[in-house]
Structure 1
Amino acid sequence: MRLTTKGRFAVTAMIDLAMNAQDHAVKLNAISERQHISLSYLEQLFSKLRRAGLVESIRGPGGGYILGKAADQINIAQIIAAAEDCLDATLCSGKANCQSGSPCLTHNLWANLNHTINSYLSSITLASLLEQPPPDTNSQVVKLTYIH
């Protein structure tokens, strides 16, 4: 299981949109410039986010995108599901037919991990992320050295 660039960029773009679409629609090229995400990649992501009802497109002068729901009604699991289609740690896509039609020995482990990750990501809304203080860019990075 991996969270791909699609999911990461979709979450980043949605946070940017939530921060900047308070009074007006936001153009994708503005998000692209601020977040260093390819415009064509954002267009693909926002097409998926629009189909999922998470964003709305506004046409015409001053057009762009706005949130499809209030920021406190959009959670991170919804964004990732729209962008990634599925975040799944099981080999069988949750069908429990991983080993010759039966669940493998570790099926429940991975299924429970899926549930835990989904529960965690579902508990975090865009609004809650906007309330967090920005990361401290002046903090020192701790480097770990491993001795063999």
Structure 2
Amino acid sequence: MKVSSKGEYALRALLVLGQHHGNVLSIQEISDKTLVTVHYLEQILLQLKKLGYVSSKRGVKGGYFLEKATDEVNIGEVIRDLEGPLSPMACASITKYEPCPLEEGCQLKPLWSLVRDTIAFVLERTTLEDLLENRLPFIKGDELDVIKRSY
């Protein structure tokens, strides 16, 4: 799995909108806070709107706002919606599986499956609210704990 600039910028935009939840922000305000060009941000916000994460308001005081509560925005879902499967290899993907001629007896597939499961485990347990509150999951032994980090 590789998160493209589109995925990174979408998360940045969601964080800015989450910080101002309940308010409408102009695309220029979002651009200024995310350092993403207005042109590229328009494309990303349109996609986020189609996916139901944000809505827009027209007019002089128009712009974008978060459609869902911050605790309802699951980071794993956002990444999957924008980037596709979380698996690093198609042969280990659950949602976009592609067979490999070397798959039978492959000693790498269990590794790729573990990487996929670990990424999914963390992202699926992280919400926009968690990011806004600096509560990040981490793996402790065989368990996933959540801590508040200070930077």
Which structure would you say has the larger RCO, counting Cα contacts within 8 Å and 6 or more residues apart? 1
Q: Distance in 2 between matches of 1:37 and 1:122?
A: 26
Out of 108, 111, 119, the residue aligned to residue 109 of structure 1 is: 111
Could you tell me which runs of 5 or more consecutive residues in structure 2 were left unpaired when the two chains were aligned. 135-147
Q: Which has the larger radius of gyration?
A: 1
Deviating more after overlay: 1-10 vs 125-134: 125-134
Question: TM-score, length-normalised on structure 1?
Answer: 0.77
Letter in 2 for 1:4: S
Structure 2 CA distance for partners of 1:103 and 1:50, relative to 1, 3 Å: farther
Instruction: Tell me how many residue pairs correspond in the alignment.
Output: 135
Structure 2 CA distance for partners of 1:62 and 1:104, relative to 1, 3 Å: farther
The 5 A counterparts of 1:1-148 are: 1-22=1-22, 24-92=23-91, 94=93, 95=97, 97-99=99-101, 104-132=106-134, 136=151
* Identical amino acids, percent of aligned pairs: 32
What's the CA shift for 1:102? 5.3
For the 8 Å contact 2:91–2:103, the answer to whether it is kept is: no
Q: Distance in 2 between matches of 1:11 and 1:77?
A: 11
Structure 2 CA distance for partners of 1:134 and 1:106, relative to 1, 3 Å: closer
For the 8 Å contact 2:91–2:98, the answer to whether it is kept is: yes
Q: Distance in 2 between matches of 1:17 and 1:81?
A: 20
